[in-house]
Structure 1
Amino acid sequence: MNFVTVQDLVNRFQLEVLAGEKEMHRAIPKPRAHRPGLEFVGYFDFFSHAHVQVLGSKEITYLHKLSEEERNLRIGNIVKYHPPCFVVTRNQEGLKYLKKYCEEENIPLLRTAEPTTKFLDMVDTYLAKALAPEMAVHGVCVNVSGIGILLRGKSGVGKSETAHTLIRRGHRLVADDIVVMKKTGPETILGTHNGKSKEFLALRSIGLVNVSRLYGRKAFQDETRIVLDIELTRWQENALNNDLELEPKFTEYMDVRIPHIEIQLQPGRDVAGLVEAAANNWYLRQQGYSAVEDFMKRLESGE
């Protein structure tokens, strides 16, 4: 399971630490930040106490207007749940009472100059990816015309060489050899590299190459949503038929079904071109177009 600490959040967004300096090791277990609004008026039935608590202008202004006794009560009711940390946006000041409670309860109090909505968007995106369930798959991940594809197959079948041809045609490498797959939503899988292999592609007979240095920065991108799982296999006579439409197949990763296609390799076969065709055909289907339906309509109409 992935692990994110308050210190990771501070480093990522250059946050100012106002209190709780000794508690930077605290874990942030949940991926979304929370604005405590109802909690300040005493409603705690659905309090997201395991989330980062963000205090914007509305929350701080409300606290400023309370009497000292009422303010102590409202804040005390929240800090007793020991959330991972509080983040105050827009560099708001007058936070002495917040510092007092955070220091007493050993809760980090942080501050940023960012507007509340912008900071919430940034921290939610960061935590969603950082805390997402993940798995590693042996293969190559590429982005073909904006469409993320996982290329799989046995060692030596030609995955990296196919990726290289695609890169030369203007497409992008995401990861070679080890593809890290992150589940960021119920139906969303992101493919990325493991950091060490970033921009590198291993080609048999050539060795390791840096695609960004060879072909420019456009040859690589950090991550992509994987929507096609393509398996490269060795050619077998009569194994694949030239049907008008193949029965849909899927591969499941972390309970997310990804459309699966098998492409057989044979000397002289344009495998990279077939990958491009598969990507473009997937896109057309998302737009509601079916080549088979179009073809059958033409037959029926006598065109």
Structure 2
Amino acid sequence: MKSVTVQQLVDRFSLEVLTGETGLDRMIPKARVHRPGLEFVGYFDFFSHAHVQVLGSKEITYLHTLSEEERNLRIGNIVKYHPPCFVVTRNLEGLKYLKKYCEEEGIALLRTSEPTNRFTELLDAYLSKALAPEIAIHGVCVNVSGIGILLRGQSGVGKSETAHTLIRRGHRLVADDVVVLKKISPETILATHNEINKEFLALRSIGLVNVSRLYGRKAFQDETRIVLDIELSKWQENALNNELEKEQQYSSYMDVKIPRIEIQLQPGRDVAGLVEAAANNWYLQRQGYSAVEDFMKRIENQI
């Protein structure tokens, strides 16, 4: 199971370590943060103790209103579950009682100057990606006019060359050869590189090129949501019919269905242009427009 350490959280968000340094190597196994408001009033039926606990103005102000005895009881009831860490937002002060319990239990007490809502959004986004299930596949990933596309096919079919043409037309490379797919929700697959192949594109007869150095920073994008899976295949006579609209096919990655189409290659065929057309057509369909329906209406009007 994937996990993130508390130390990685400190480094990523430049958090101040108030106490509990011995707990910095603890693992954070769950995405999304938790604000322990209900737990401070004694309700623990749904306590998300494996999540990062974030304390904002509401929680800290409430604790300040309690007597020392009551406050110690409330904090002690939470600390005994040993959550990965506590993060106090807005650089809030008066945390002596929190420091005492966290130090005793070896739980890191951290602090940030960020407002609570903004920090929880940033941390949720980071943990969702860092802890997401992932697989690596062979292919190329590009972002075409804001639309994430996987290009797949047999080795040597022309995936990287197609990506290069798309980059020359102003689109962006995400990953070449090895594409890392992350499932960040039941409906969403995020694609990225594996760090080693970041910005690199392998072109037959040319070799390895750095697209950012060749075409500028706009030629590369760190990650993208995948919405189309395009398989490039060798041309086969009579394999494709000129139907007005083919039945939609799908690929499945970690149980997430992605619309799939096949583009056959032939000398002189503008494959990059067809990829652009597929991306733009997908966008129009999401907006509720169907070229086939529009075409059929025109025929009906003529009749």
TM over 0.5: yes
Counterpart for residue 111 of structure 1: 111
Q: Deviations over 1:94-129 (max 9, x none)?
A: 111101101111111111111111110110000000
Does the CA contact (< 8 Å) of 2:3 and 2:30 recur in 1? no
Q: Deviations over 1:192-233 (max 9, x none)?
A: 000111110000000000101111111011000000000000
User: How do residues 86-235 of structure 1 correspond to structure 2 at under 5 angstroms?
Assistant: 86-235=86-235
Q: Distance in 1 between matches of 2:2 and 2:156?
A: 32
Counterpart for residue 62 of structure 1: 62
TM-fit CA distance, 1:81: 0.6
Q: Which amino acid aligns with 2:139?
A: G
Alignment of 1:15 onto 2:15: yes
Q: Deviations over 1:158-186 (max 9, x none)?
A: 00000000000010000000000001111
Does the CA contact (< 8 Å) of 2:2 and 2:29 recur in 1? no
Q: Which amino acid aligns with 1:35?
A: R
Alignment of 1:53 onto 2:50: no
Q: Which amino acid aligns with 1:33?
A: V
**Post-superposition, which runs of at least 4 consecutive aligned residues in structure 1 deviate over 3 A?**
none
Counterpart for residue 272 of structure 2: 272
TM-fit CA distance, 1:18: 1.1
Counterpart for residue 39 of structure 1: 39
Q: Distance in 2 between matches of 1:171 and 1:2?
A: 32
Q: Which amino acid aligns with 2:211?
A: V
Q: How many residues align?
A: 303
Q: Which amino acid aligns with 1:232?
A: L
Q: Distance in 1 between matches of 2:38 and 2:298?
A: 61
Q: Distance in 2 between matches of 1:176 and 1:70?
A: 58
Q: Distance in 1 between matches of 2:297 and 2:58?
A: 60
SS of equivalent to 1:277? helix
Q: Deviations over 1:243-293 (max 9, x none)?
A: 110111000000100000000001000000000010011011001111111
TM-fit CA distance, 1:23: 1.5
User: How do residues 63-78 of structure 1 correspond to structure 2 at under 5 angstroms?
Assistant: 63-78=63-78
TM-fit CA distance, 1:65: 1.4
Counterpart for residue 263 of structure 2: 263
Q: Distance in 2 between matches of 1:52 and 1:185?
A: 19
TM-fit CA distance, 1:2: 2.4
The percentage of counterpart residues that share the same residue type is: 82
Q: Distance in 2 between matches of 1:161 and 1:80?
A: 58
TM-score, normalised with respect to structure 2: 0.99
TM-fit CA distance, 1:3: 2.1
TM-score, normalised with respect to structure 1: 0.99
SS of equivalent to 1:34? coil
Structure 2: which 5+ residue stretches go unaligned?
A: none
Q: Distance in 1 between matches of 2:116 and 2:297?
A: 54
Q: Distance in 1 between matches of 2:118 and 2:27?
A: 23
TM-fit CA distance, 1:64: 1.1
Q: Distance in 1 between matches of 2:184 and 2:101?
A: 35
Q: Distance in 2 between matches of 1:61 and 1:259?
A: 50
Q: Distance in 2 between matches of 1:2 and 1:54?
A: 21
SS of equivalent to 1:225? strand
Q: Distance in 1 between matches of 2:3 and 2:64?
A: 35
TM-fit CA distance, 1:91: 0.9
Structure 1: which 5+ residue stretches go unaligned?
A: none
